[in-house]
Amino acid sequence: MKKKWQPTLIRTGIRIPLILWTLAVLYPIIWMFIGSFKSNAEIYANPWGLPETFNIQNFADAWNNYNIDTSVFNSAIVTVLGMALTLVLALPTAYALERLRFRGSNILFTVYISAMMIPMVLGWIPLFFLLMDFGLLDSIIGLSIVYAISQLPFSIFVLTSFMGTIPKELEESASMDGMSPYGILFKIIAPLSTTAIITVSIMNAIQFWNEYFMALIFLNTREKYTLGLAIDFISSEAQYTNAWGTLFASLTIAIIPVIILYAIFQKRIAKGMTEGAIKG
Amino acid sequence: MVQSKKQKNLFLAFCLVPTFILFAIFTLYPLFSGLYYSFFDWSGSSSNSEFIGLDNYRRLISDAIIPQTIWHDYFLVITKVFGIMILAIFFAVALTQLKIKEAPFYRVVFFFPNIMSVVVIGILWTFIYNPSLGLVNSGLEFIGLESWTRPWLGDQDWALPSLVLPSVWAGIGLFMLLLIGGISNVSKSYYEAAEIDGANQWQQFWKITLPLVWPQIKISILYIVITTLNGSFIIVQIMTGGGPNNSTHVMGSYLYQQAFVQYNFGYGATIGVMILILSLLTVLILQFFMKREKVQY
């Protein structure tokens, strides 16, 4: 008899920490959503409760008076440009590293992969002056390039390991039929790697959309601010203006695209991130 | 093969050269020239950069804030490794070994903070710690522990420990999934055999699960250490900016302050070299100590 009820008891007991952690994760996020619909008076009077009426004044304020519209636009450009550039740069290299044996291919692969473990802060100081010389400082284009290069190692890593699973016969027969290596890369390998390409692109997009520190260093005028910087700016101003509702509204604006992506691609994102970590 | 050697090389160059040139310009060159600049007194414009040999390194050794920043970094490393690993292992085991119907729900929820922006995480938690509005202090008041309330992030002794919780909160999901991956690869027959031998859940965990997922545990620890040493300054910058009174400055945030706020670029680069050396050394030492024999049954 003992055997029968014991697992059930353990299972019920184990649910308590699981449920507590679920609350710990969800509550601050839900609270942020709720806070974005509250007036300032309500936030002070009842910081953790529900609003009396849902008003969207905070969103309008953030959008019109705090430059969030420009920042959303800037972040979107950085994300899309960075994503496209990473792909254009990573795909041919990944193919060459995985399929074309050449002298030094292992060394080159190691160079790219070890860049994932190197703290880039050291490089940011010279990079700052390099961008200045190129006229790419305080520029959305410049930031997109920096982003794209920063995600190259990860993207090359995921793409090569995926291409390793594509059977070689297809390329061989295409080559027999006289297809050029360019054709093989773009007409055979690229479509077959769609899964990996999508995974890599989603991961990079989230990364670029969320990024804060490089933007902090490489951008300085408010019209160029990406979302992270704009929110940080509102947050530090809120100490004096107490515009907490506006702050929550802009946090909500920043997080919604990520939630949508996660809702659609949850499995891929989780897989992409664990794979990226395993390389270590 | 019809293509000539020359065509083959041309294709190879097409694949590799443009990418590598950009990578060299934007990643390799800055790293090496960072090393180089650490020997200069340099406040930005090229006209007033002066070679000063090891002076920056002497300054680094005598700078009283540097040992604090190093300690703060390693404090975060150690507390994060323990905090994240204990909870991640617990959740991973709970979600795989005990047949819980809604396990996928927990997985999806626990992982989500991993893809949230550090800005959002930092600001949300700044609020949770807010002395008058925050959840922590209201909670303490609610359960009658008013004497425990404090301005968490404004308190010299509590600001740094307060940064641990958001980092653990944001990190657990990824490592939980990594470990779940490891545990589900462990063959069911081990557990069945252990069951027959009368081993209880606890013994099964120590004797089967833990040794067999050791590779995943090792990877997780290394990954937490690397990402903390290379990136802890981001949450510090957002939540405290290194204050109050330098009590939360980590190496990276101190570098940012020296280089990009006070324009001591040469000295900033020297701090960067220190971060590089410390993080590589730490990884090497860790790998040496964790080289436990792979278990096979």
Residue B208 has what DSSP assignment?
I
How far apart are alpha carbons A12 and B94 in whole angstroms? 11
pLDDT score at A39: 81
pLDDT score at A1: 40
Contact (CB<8Å) B174/A277: yes
State the average pLDDT for chain B: 88
Length of chain A equals 280
Name the closest residue on chain A to residue B257, using Cα atoms.
A217
Q: Locate B32 and state its tokens.
A: 């090496």
Residue A71: which region, alpha, beta or left (left: phi > 0; alpha: psi -120 to 50)? alpha
Neighboring chain B residues of A280 at a CB cutoff of 8 Å:
219, 222-223, 226
Alpha helices in chain B (DSSP H): 5-23, 29-37, 55-62, 65-97, 103-111, 118-128, 135-142, 159-184, 188-196, 201-204, 210-212, 214-239, 251-256, 265-289
Mean pLDDT in residue range B66-75: 95
From residue B228, give the alpha-carbon distance in Å to each of A192, B14, B278: 36, 37, 12
How far apart are alpha carbons B103 and B19 in whole angstroms? 42
Give the tens place of pLDDT for each residue, A208-220.
999 999 999 999 9
Q: Is B249's pLDDT higher than 90?
A: yes
Share of chain A above pLDDT 90, in %: 54
For testing the chain B interface, which of A16, A23, A121 should be mutated: the one with the most B CBs within 10 Å? A121
Neighboring chain B residues of A211 at a CB cutoff of 8 Å:
117
From residue A250, give the alpha-carbon distance in Å to each of A253, A254, B29, B106: 5, 6, 37, 27
pLDDT score at B207: 83
Which residue reads 């990402």 in tokens? B227
| Residue B212 pLDDT grade (very low, low, confident, very high; cuts 50, 70, 90) | confident
Give the tens place of pLDDT for each residue, A232-263.
999 888 878 778 888 999 999 999 999 999 99
Beta-bridged to residue A65, according to DSSP, are: none
Length of chain B equals 297
Nearest-neighbour CA in chain B from A31: distance (Å): 9
Backbone angles phi, psi at A119, to 5 degrees: -70, 120
**Dihedral (Cα; B52, B54, B57, B62), 10-degree rounding:** -90
| Residue A35 pLDDT grade (very low, low, confident, very high; cuts 50, 70, 90) | confident
| Residue A5 pLDDT grade (very low, low, confident, very high; cuts 50, 70, 90) | low
Contact (CB<8Å) B265/A125: yes
pLDDT score at A2: 44
Q: What is the ipTM of this complex?
A: 0.89
Q: Is B214's pLDDT higher than 80?
A: yes
Superfamily of domain A73-225+267-278: MetI-like (1.10.3720.10)
Shortest CB distance from B14 goes to which of A92, A216, A278? Answer: A92
Contact (CB<8Å) A125/B259: yes
Shortest CB distance from A122 goes to which of B100, B172, B276? Answer: B276
| Residue B46 pLDDT grade (very low, low, confident, very high; cuts 50, 70, 90) | low
Q: Locate A45 and state its tokens.
A: 């009077």
Neighboring chain A residues of B47 at a CB cutoff of 8 Å:
none
Q: Which of A155, A153, A166 is nearest to A99 (CA)?
A: A166
- Which domains are seen in chain B, by residue range? 55-289 (1.10.3720.10)
**Dihedral (Cα; B252, A146, A126, B27), 10-degree rounding:** 90
From residue A174, give the alpha-carbon distance in Å to each of A101, A179, A195, B97, B171: 18, 6, 21, 48, 45
Which residue reads 């190259």 in tokens? A152
Do the Cβ atoms of A128 and A142 come closer than 8 Å? no
Contact (CB<8Å) B30/A127: yes
Nearest-neighbour CA in chain A from B190: distance (Å): 19
